[in-house]
Structure 1
Amino acid sequence: MEPVDSATAGVRQTDANASQKPTRRPVAVDAADPRFPWQERPAGETGVVWRHRGNPVIGRNPMPEVQGIYNSAVVPFGDGYAGVFRTEKHTRFPLLHAGWSEDGLDWQIEPQPIRFTNRTPDPSEYAYDPRVVRIEDCYYLTWCGGHNGPTISMARTTDFRSFEQMDNAFLPFNRNGVLFPRKIGGKYFMLSRPSDNGHTPFGDIYVSQSPDLVHWGKHELVMRKGGDTVGQWWQRTKIGAGPIPIETPEGWLMIYHGVIDTCNGFVYSMGAAILDLEQPWRVLYRTNQHLLTPEAGYETTGHVPNVVFPCAALHDAPTGRLAIYYGAADTCTCLSYAYVNDLIDFTKNHSAVF
């Protein structure tokens, strides 16, 4: 099937009544990493994505004076995992803390926030909603930062103990900066959502290119918010890229959040899209319904009710298992699971590109 450019006005929609039961599952189970955080789909669960039974994996008070830890980033590191976590103390001022885990479930969070070796700390600079990706031999951190922001701030590290801050990627205002895990055509690529200083009224996803992670340009529209014309509302207010895109033979699997503005406030849900491998601004498939929406108590009740905000994913390639970390109700950190092949099948069979 030929790719569809989401910047066009055309809409392609597949059969929303197709079976939701997963159709494919990896067979290399004997190659499973025992450290990988995972629970099999519960009996009777028909969703393509299912929740960790012990959610939240990091509660709202993981260390003294912290009253929320959420919308955080996790990557494989050494013999386990490392992460960068958004925390809020009693000031409600968001800062980033590094953390480590052997199994992706039990986390040791550094009590002091991340400080950058090349900058003097500025108490007025906030930092929230990080993403982390390994590109070659370096780990790159992106987040919404208050250094001339809000916009996409960047840093790099090799050990998650020493961080060097880089130049901001874009002018204010911008959010949800997500780097691709490798160069495409010799260029670095980053997803983002141009924004404003509040709940933006124009929340569409773009992708930008850079030769050096400093100079960014050739900004291309990836996909718009909306859904009214194709009979869906869950992503009508705004959308934003979530975890680092996952490379598959079908294309880049991009998990994202979609937001609806209801009479009782915003509701954040999880969706997925498949982007062309060589032209990631071309959307091949896009879920015409959410994959996970606030239903559990820890998602519907918290500092900001009704939020499922995915921003990290671990992929166990030999088995196809996927562990998706998400912030719940802007309060705690949760985990959900899927099989990559099942998620791709679902996205292709329940797709509307607009």
Structure 2
Amino acid sequence: MLKIKKLGVLLDTTDLGFENEGVFNPAVILEEGAIHLFYRAVRSGNYSSIGYCLLDKPDSVRKRHTKPLLFPEHTYESQGMEDPRITKVEDTFYMTYTAYDKINAAGAIATSTDLKKFEKKGVITPQFTYREYKHFVECSPGLNEKYFFHYKIFKEHGLGPEVAGKLKIWDKNLMFFPKKINGNFALLHRIHPGIQIVYFDRFEDLTHEFWKDYFMSLEKHIVMDPKLYYESSHIGGGCPPIETKEGWLLIYHAAQDTPQGFKYHASAALLDLNDPQIEITRLKTPLISPTLKWEKEGIVNNIIFPSGAIVHNDYLYIYYGAADQRVGVASIKLNELLNQLKQD
């Protein structure tokens, strides 16, 4: 039995205008002994920006900014910058986030060299309509039928020509591997219901034609699809992969479809170091589930959404959104988790 310790609420809402409705789904990075945490801050009306705080210990806040570090400035993110992740690749920090414009949820990126000033690079995920997406992925054999789920939902519910013409495929949960693999950037992303990987040399390579070819052979890019009882709806990347002696450790979220609605868990998997598309193992049971009142009750109930993790003094600290309202943190001995994964 894994001994994971929940360390409580790290951040909660404040009276400040930019975070009076929720603070959750944080990115975290350990750099030169300092722990930097970037979190989704939501104000009334579901408008999201990125807040910042500095930790003095993995479960203790030293300094918290009273203004957002990043906020929506462009049309593609007009309703919010959601669910950041951050990774350092070589000398650059890459912050990925979901850019939301009230209709579309796309993967966007901002870069920094000092974790203070970020330069937005825009949306990097494909901008296909769901009709185009369906035509492309129909060329990819053996896909889980849930890859057509959103297309069927939108078609059946008839969104109307104005919305339907603007609606693009939702591509979320972007996160970089912390080093290049075979000379290329490696990026995890989530097209419902699984986790996929894309390799590229330069951001300029991510063209319409690139993504068209990618989706026509989508089955070749899948890292993990849902298969266990607690993944009965879908899964998605959680925390950027961590390199260990046993493989890439991936903390991910899993949505379980229950009679009471979705229940989100955090779980763990190991991917091959040289070829992360090879799944070595995943936990048979969830790593973290919503059991405490502040995890079970909030803006959206029964949500554990991991989005950042660090290794500190042989412990893995996992930072997660709880009930879409607050930030929690949990810890576990890294070796214990790796040993359990090997057993599973």
TM-score interval, smaller chain? 0.7 to 0.9
Q: 1:62 to 1:80 in 2, by over 3 A?
A: farther
- 1:182 aligns with one of 179, 182, 188: 179
Q: Given that residues 51 and 70 in structure 2 are in contact (C-alpha distance below 8 angstroms), is that contact kept between their aligned partners in structure 1?
A: no
Structure 1 unmatched runs, 5+: 1-19, 21-46, 195-201, 228-232
Residue 60 (structure 1) aligns with: 13
Q: CA deviation at 1:78?
A: 4.5
Compare the two structures and name the one with the higher helix fraction. 2
Where in structure 2 are the equivalents of 1:186-225 lying within 5 Å? 186-194=183-191, 202-216=192-206, 220-225=221-226
Distance in 2 separating the partners of 1:264 and 1:90: 26
Q: Which amino acid aligns with 1:304?
A: V
* SS of residue paired to 1:165: strand
Residue 144 (structure 2) aligns with: none
Q: 1:107 to 1:142 in 2, by over 3 A?
A: farther
Q: Given that residues 78 and 100 in structure 2 are in contact (C-alpha distance below 8 angstroms), is that contact kept between their aligned partners in structure 1?
A: yes
71-80 vs 128-137, which moves further: 71-80
1:307 equivalenced with 2:267 (yes/no): no
Q: Which amino acid aligns with 1:190?
A: L
Q: What is the TM-score normalised by the length of structure 2?
A: 0.78
144-153 vs 240-249, which moves further: 144-153
Distance in 2 separating the partners of 1:345 and 1:138: 32
Q: Deviations over 1:173-217 (max 9, x none)?
A: 2011111000011011011111xxxxxxx4111011111244346
84-93 vs 185-194, which moves further: 84-93
Q: Given that residues 74 and 132 in structure 1 are in contact (C-alpha distance below 8 angstroms), is that contact kept between their aligned partners in structure 2?
A: yes
Aligned length: 287
1:342 equivalenced with 2:336 (yes/no): yes
Q: Given that residues 13 and 20 in structure 2 are in contact (C-alpha distance below 8 angstroms), is that contact kept between their aligned partners in structure 1?
A: yes
- 1:99 aligns with one of 36, 53, 56: 53
1:258 equivalenced with 2:254 (yes/no): yes
Distance in 1 separating the partners of 2:110 and 2:79: 14
Q: Given that residues 79 and 102 in structure 1 are in contact (C-alpha distance below 8 angstroms), is that contact kept between their aligned partners in structure 2?
A: no
* SS of residue paired to 1:288: coil
Distance in 2 separating the partners of 1:79 and 1:256: 25
Which of structure 1's runs of 4+ aligned residues deviate more than 3 A? Answer: 62-65, 119-123, 216-219
* SS of residue paired to 1:111: coil
Q: Which amino acid aligns with 1:258?
A: A
Q: Deviations over 1:55-91 (max 9, x none)?
A: 1011232745522100011112345222211011122
Q: 1:50 to 1:79 in 2, by over 3 A?
A: closer
Q: Which amino acid aligns with 2:200?
A: S
* SS of residue paired to 1:344: helix
Q: 1:325 to 1:115 in 2, by over 3 A?
A: closer
Q: CA deviation at 1:107?
A: 4.9
Residue 134 (structure 1) aligns with: 88
Q: Which amino acid aligns with 2:6?
A: R
Q: CA deviation at 1:169?
A: 2.1
Q: CA deviation at 1:320?
A: 2.1
* SS of residue paired to 1:347: helix
Residue 157 (structure 1) aligns with: 112
Where in structure 2 are the equivalents of 1:24-43 lying within 5 Å? none
1:51 equivalenced with 2:52 (yes/no): no
* SS of residue paired to 2:116: coil
- 2:30 aligns with one of 76, 79, 86: 76
Q: Which amino acid aligns with 2:328?
A: C
Distance in 1 separating the partners of 2:322 and 2:109: 24
Q: 1:124 to 1:245 in 2, by over 3 A?
A: same
* SS of residue paired to 2:275: coil
Q: Given that residues 287 and 348 in structure 1 are in contact (C-alpha distance below 8 angstroms), is that contact kept between their aligned partners in structure 2?
A: no
Residue 151 (structure 2) aligns with: none
Q: 1:78 to 1:125 in 2, by over 3 A?
A: farther
Structure 2 unmatched runs, 5+: 127-168
Q: CA deviation at 1:223?
A: 1.0
Q: Given that residues 138 and 158 in structure 1 are in contact (C-alpha distance below 8 angstroms), is that contact kept between their aligned partners in structure 2?
A: yes
Residue 129 (structure 2) aligns with: none
Q: CA deviation at 1:131?
A: 0.2
Q: Which amino acid aligns with 1:207?
A: I
Q: Given that residues 49 and 70 in structure 2 are in contact (C-alpha distance below 8 angstroms), is that contact kept between their aligned partners in structure 1?
A: no
Distance in 2 separating the partners of 1:278 and 1:166: 28
* SS of residue paired to 1:289: coil
* SS of residue paired to 1:343: helix
